[in-house]
Amino acid sequence: MTIPTICGDKITLRPFRARDVDPLFDSLGDPESNRLTGTHAAFTREQVERYVANFATDDSRAGFVIADSASDDLAPLGEVLLFDIDTDNRNAWFRIAMFGMGQVNKGYGTEAMRMILRYGFETLNLHRIALEVYAFNPRAIHVYEKVGFQREGVLRDLLFYDGAFHDAIGMAILEDDWRALQDG
C-alpha cells in the first residue's frame, strides 16, 4: 500500500523512513508508554527495523508517522495506524502511540486521529474502525470519544500488568457516525 503524506495544522502524517527507527526504538523503552499500551515485550533494534520496513509491502495496514509540521525535516512525534484492514467487510483496527510521554497533551494525537479517520473512511472506503483501550487510561478514552468512537463493551481482565488484571474497553466508530460529525 502506498502511504501518502497528509498535512494538518500542527502535524503531518507521513510514511515511515529508515531514520524513524531510532525514535521509535527509543520510545519502546518508556515505562509509562508501555504500561498504557500493555506492552510486555522488549524489542530489538532489528525488530523495529523490520517493523518499519514492512509498511512498504503490507497491504493489511496503513501506518503513518505523526510528524511535527513546524520542523524542517518533519521530526517524528509518534505513530498512528490502521491495521488488520479487511477490505471485504470494510473494517480495520486502530492504534496510536506517541514517541514518549513528552508528546502528550499537545493536541497532536487528536489531530492525528481525525486525519487518519478521514483517510480510512474517504480513501480506504472503510465502514468501521475499532480499537481497544485499557480502562486505566481515561485520558485516551476521553480523546477517543471526543473524535467519535463509541464504547461497545468491556473485555474483562484482558491484561495482566504490574501484578493485577485490567479490563479493556472495546470502542468503534462507524462511517455514518463519522460523516454525521463532519456535517455537524
- CA 61 to CA 152: how far, in whole Å? 23
Q: What is the pLDDT of residue 173?
A: 98
DSSP string, 40-103: -----HHHHHHHHHHTTT-TT-EEEEEEETTSTT--EEEEEEEEEEETTTTEEEEEEEESSGGG
CB atoms within 10 A of CB 42: 9
pLDDT averaged over the chain?
A: 93
Dump pLDDT digits (tens) for 122-169.
999 999 999 999 999 999 999 999 999 999 999 999 999 999 999 999
Q: What is the pLDDT of residue 102?
A: 67
pTM value > 0.85: yes
Dump pLDDT digits (tens) for 92-123.
999 999 886 666 778 999 999 999 999 999 99
CB atoms within 10 A of CB 5: 12
Dump pLDDT digits (tens) for 14-69.
999 999 999 999 989 888 888 989 999 999 999 999 999 988 888 899 999 999 99
Burial of 95 (C-beta count, 10 Å sphere; 0-12/13-18/19+):
middle
